[in-house]
Amino acid sequence: MLGIRMMRQMGELALIQRIRSGVAAELGSHTAARGVSVLLGIGDDCAILRPPKGDEILVTTDFTLEGRHFRREWHPPESVGHRALARGLSDLAAMGARPLAAFLSLALPAEMLATRAGRGWVERFFSGLRGLAQIHQVPLAGGDTSESPCGLVLADIVLVGSAPASRAIRRSGARAGDALYVTGNLGGAAAELAAMELRSSRVKSNFAGSIPANEVGAHPQLFPLPRVEVGLALLRRHLATAAIDLSDGLSTDLTHLCSESGVGAEVLSAALPIHPLALQARSDRALHFALNGGEDYELLFAASPKTKIPLSIAGVRITRIGSIVSRNVVSILDSAGHRKPLKPGGWEHFASGR
Amino acid sequence: MLGIRMMRQMGELALIQRIRSGVAAELGSHTAARGVSVLLGIGDDCAILRPPKGDEILVTTDFTLEGRHFRREWHPPESVGHRALARGLSDLAAMGARPLAAFLSLALPAEMLATRAGRGWVERFFSGLRGLAQIHQVPLAGGDTSESPCGLVLADIVLVGSAPASRAIRRSGARAGDALYVTGNLGGAAAELAAMELRSSRVKSNFAGSIPANEVGAHPQLFPLPRVEVGLALLRRHLATAAIDLSDGLSTDLTHLCSESGVGAEVLSAALPIHPLALQARSDRALHFALNGGEDYELLFAASPKTKIPLSIAGVRITRIGSIVSRNVVSILDSAGHRKPLKPGGWEHFASGR
């Protein structure tokens, strides 16, 4: 039952205060690292940012809701924090924007704040978020905290970035004849998630706040790597005509890009760079992971046929997977040369049965 | 029980799409009204904003969670949408910033999307949000949507605003000797909430999307009026040394302002402009509402004794309620001249008993 009362549960408020202090300390070190882009962080009514002169501001918000986007039984807390930030960074990467600051609204269950194990979860969550934030030098500049009304961890991450005026890479710029590329590998996140579901037990985590160097890329579901540097290079070097990040799966996100550009596309099945984890499955399942498994957070981009695209950008392998065509249809050619329509079939995260 | 499956429930996706389209249409009209400050809205990875030249960017995020910040049985849907936006606008107002764009992350229960009544609730929610957005000409430029994992409506609002470089009004600028002012009346939101709790039944709503002119100010809990124009005037006319919005209650928010400024304050009980709804209660209860009832979303500000503060700004009454003092204590003087410490005692919204 809900009731209104004056709350004097200073335990909760104190913990939230502690989180804020930790975040503020974090902000201090990051602000120093990034110059004066964040002038005022947590502790006033708003944060104040000073974007680079003449730049435009890019903003994206993404939910991370327990039971929809992660499961506490499966995802270690570092992964939940990492993935929350990765979702927003990946949106900035898709437009070639430089991250300026992140904001986190976080609601935590009262019982989590009341136990040592629960508080440990929160600290590990922030540790995961901090690890990825440090890689991309993006300060956590503010947000909101609340007690969760339903016993679930609820987060919403906001990323603010900047890009030179009129230069952000949009979904709508692809033209017939353009070549189609992806970064990294596809299907790894879905394959790792399927393995987690199969084990149906919690994945033990050895991560202490950030991704150990030898683990980079090894956990595409738990610790996806948003392609911020690739996006910046695509914009700076005028390489892409259009881009989108692969959050919902290639089939869905390619359809979005084509729809916004008013074009179609042809994907070569044999050209897809399938993630080693996905390749451990049967070949039709591996292809399904690569085409429809979301959450890889790779970039999909189109480039003019006149543009020479290097084999790797910012250390990330780039693979040509097909072409943009004028006919308003997205299709896939199998290795025997048979053409089939490629319909949106991305993961819609978890279905809720509560 | 939660399970992972490919979701083909296009009903849900279709409704979310419909919400997005409605918002996009809204955006179109607002963008036209506001010139080119929002260059790209919903439909790409990020929204693109072009802030006024040389301005700094202000960002604030605020949860609106069912069971914590509102109750569906008490708050009509228009009120929930209105209040979500009001929270963010009020944070911008407190710093004297001009709103550029709002972003909404919204998670809705599946059963709400499945019924006509539920969809009606969503439309009325947006109608309330739109009504306030139109008053302040702020476009809804993006956000995220999801199915709620727990049957509750979960929202997070992000406001992005701008202010001339180094001019945003902070909490930290108050100095001993400054006079202390508030806008409008205090305690109305808590008094109306107490009345709603007493009736313990849903408040019937006659509002159709925006606040009828004759109702302005009549529902401080359901339809609070963020003081955006007052904030802009305080900044433009160099009137305030420090400001904060009254979201948690005067006693709490004044303590925040003093703490950030390294000063104390003295409030005159007899000077407090108590809202007519609060004055219907016993006098000690009325005073409690005015001091500790949050959610009034009025502005509290300090001004140099040399600055002449008008009786009203942007049509809103301004009342002097006390002074800033050097001793690091916040106190209140009753009408007999007795001084008592004023401790933070704001509302912590609803306590959850689920």
The pLDDT, as a whole number, for residue B3 is 26
Asked if A341 is an interface residue toward chain B (Cβ–Cβ < 8 A), one would say no
Residue B26, phi then psi, degrees to nearest 5: -55, -45
- Look up residue B95 and give its amino acid: M
The pLDDT, as a whole number, for residue B160 is 96
The two structure tokens encoding residue B197: 């709790």
The pLDDT, as a whole number, for residue B29 is 46
Mean pLDDT value across residues B195-220: 63
pLDDT digits (tens, 9 = 90+) for B227-247: 999 999 999 999 999 999 999
The answer to whether A290 touches A278, Cβ cutoff 8 Å, is yes
Is the confidence at residue A214, as pLDDT, over 60? no
- Look up residue B151 and give its amino acid: G
pLDDT digits (tens, 9 = 90+) for B300-337: 999 999 999 999 999 999 999 999 999 999 999 998 98
pLDDT digits (tens, 9 = 90+) for A232-257: 999 999 999 999 999 999 999 999 99
- Residue ranges matching CATH 3.30.1330.10 in chain A: 34-164
Asked if A92 is an interface residue toward chain B (Cβ–Cβ < 8 A), one would say yes
The CATH architecture annotation of domain B171-341 reads: Alpha-Beta Complex (3.90)
Is the confidence at residue B86, as pLDDT, over 80? yes
Taking CA–CA distances from A67, the nearest residue in chain B reads B149
CATH topology assigned to domain B34-164: 60s Ribosomal Protein L30; Chain: A; (3.30.1330)
The pLDDT, as a whole number, for residue A199 is 79
Mean pLDDT for chain A?
86
Instruction: Give contacts of B45 with chain A, Cβ < 8 Å.
Output: 60, 91-92, 94-95, 171, 244-245
CATH for A171-203+212-341 (3.20.20.190, 3.90.650.10, 3.40.640.10, 3.40.50.300): 3.90.650.10
CB atoms within 10 A of CB B237: 13
Mean pLDDT for chain B?
86
Residue A177 Cα, gap to closest chain B Cα (Å): 22
Name the band, by pLDDT with cuts 50, 70 and 90, for residue B351.
Answer: very low
The answer to whether A149 touches A107, Cβ cutoff 8 Å, is yes
ipTM of the complex: 0.88
pLDDT digits (tens, 9 = 90+) for A322-353: 999 999 999 999 989 899 999 998 654 443 33
Closest CA to B261 of B321, B177, B166: B177
Asked if B311 is an interface residue toward chain A (Cβ–Cβ < 8 A), one would say no
The two structure tokens encoding residue B311: 């009786």
Is the confidence at residue B168, as pLDDT, over 50? yes
Is the confidence at residue B347, as pLDDT, over 90? no
State the Cα torsion A338-A343-A347-A353 to the nearest 10°.
Answer: -120
Residue A131 Cα, gap to closest chain B Cα (Å): 23
Asked if B260 is an interface residue toward chain A (Cβ–Cβ < 8 A), one would say yes
Mean pLDDT value across residues A250-272: 97
Asked if B218 is an interface residue toward chain A (Cβ–Cβ < 8 A), one would say no
DSSP state of B177: T
- A58 with B50: Cβ contact below 8 A: no
Phi-psi region of A160 (alpha: psi -120 to 50; beta: other; left: phi over 0): beta
The answer to whether A352 touches B2, Cβ cutoff 8 Å, is yes
The pLDDT, as a whole number, for residue A207 is 44
pLDDT digits (tens, 9 = 90+) for A32-70: 444 447 767 677 889 999 999 889 999 999 999 999 999
The pLDDT, as a whole number, for residue B66 is 98
Asked if A179 is an interface residue toward chain B (Cβ–Cβ < 8 A), one would say no
Taking CA–CA distances from B145, the nearest residue in chain A reads A63
Residue A8, phi then psi, degrees to nearest 5: -120, 20
The pLDDT, as a whole number, for residue B20 is 60
Nearest-by-Cβ selection for B61 from A40, A92, A158? A158
What is the pTM assigned to this prediction? 0.89
pLDDT digits (tens, 9 = 90+) for A6-37: 233 434 455 556 556 555 555 444 444 444 47
- Look up residue A37 and give its amino acid: S
The pLDDT, as a whole number, for residue A353 is 33
The two structure tokens encoding residue A161: 């970035």
Asked if A2 is an interface residue toward chain B (Cβ–Cβ < 8 A), one would say yes
The pLDDT, as a whole number, for residue B33 is 41
Proportion of chain B above pLDDT 90, given as a percent: 72
Mean pLDDT value across residues B246-267: 96
For chains A and B, CB pairs below 8 A equal 256
Lowest mean pLDDT among A146-150, B13-17, B239-243, B333-337: B13-17
- Measured CA to CA, the distance from residue A75 to residue A90 in angstroms comes to 20
Q: How far apart are the first and last CA of chain B?
A: 18
Alpha-helical runs (H) found in B216-292: 228-236, 250-261, 276-279, 283-292
Scanning the structure block, which residue is given the tokens 């400054």? Answer: B178
Residue A346 Cα, gap to closest chain B Cα (Å): 8
Residues recorded for chain B:
354
- Measured CA to CA, the distance from residue A354 to residue B150 in angstroms comes to 7
Name the band, by pLDDT with cuts 50, 70 and 90, for residue B199.
Answer: confident
Interface test with A, best of B46, B74, B89, B146 (most A CBs within 10 A): B46
Is the confidence at residue A211, as pLDDT, over 60? no
| A139-158 residues touching B, CB cutoff 8 A | 141-144, 146-152, 154, 156, 158
The pLDDT, as a whole number, for residue A65 is 97
The pLDDT, as a whole number, for residue A3 is 26
Name the band, by pLDDT with cuts 50, 70 and 90, for residue A4.
Answer: very low
- A61 with B156: Cβ contact below 8 A: yes
Asked if B347 is an interface residue toward chain A (Cβ–Cβ < 8 A), one would say yes
